[in-house]
Amino acid sequence: MPAGNEPARPQPGLFIFDERFPDAVALSRQAILDGVRLASTRDVFTNLWYAELDMGWRRTPGIVAGATTDRTLHILETLALDRQMRVTDRTVIGGDGLVCWTLGPAPRHRASQKVTGA
């Protein structure tokens, strides 16, 4: 598709970032300009998960994006699986261990069609 005709991606409701990385801070500034709420990995992670993400995803699955370490993403991804959420986008940024990612609802799979022999 030509530029400008691409379907709009749904915007995340929350952007989680690691303040130790200048690129993550820059991405968080852009996210806030786009009207996305921010959460830092400096916050107590269990509170972020239980009070916000888990409870919110129980009501309505929503998109969360972030710029964190791969380890932080792994923890979030593991927890998110319980709410049928998965990583939908993952990009390594630079060589300092920063990963930019998106978590969203896992697509529903159609029932597999029965294959019959000849």
What would the pLDDT profile of 13-53 be if each residue is shown by its tens digit?
A: 899 999 999 999 999 999 999 999 999 888 767 778 877 88
Residue 36 has what DSSP assignment?
-
Contact of 17 with 38, CB cutoff 8 Å: yes
Predicted pLDDT at 106: 74
On the question of pLDDT at 7 being above 60, the answer is no
On the question of pLDDT at 8 being above 70, the answer is no
- b/e string for 81-111 if b means 16 or more Cβ within 10 A? eebebebeeeeeeeeeebbbbbbbbeeeeee
pTM of the predicted model, to two decimals?
Answer: 0.79
Predicted pLDDT at 59: 85
Helices (H), 34-116: 45-47, 55-59, 70-80
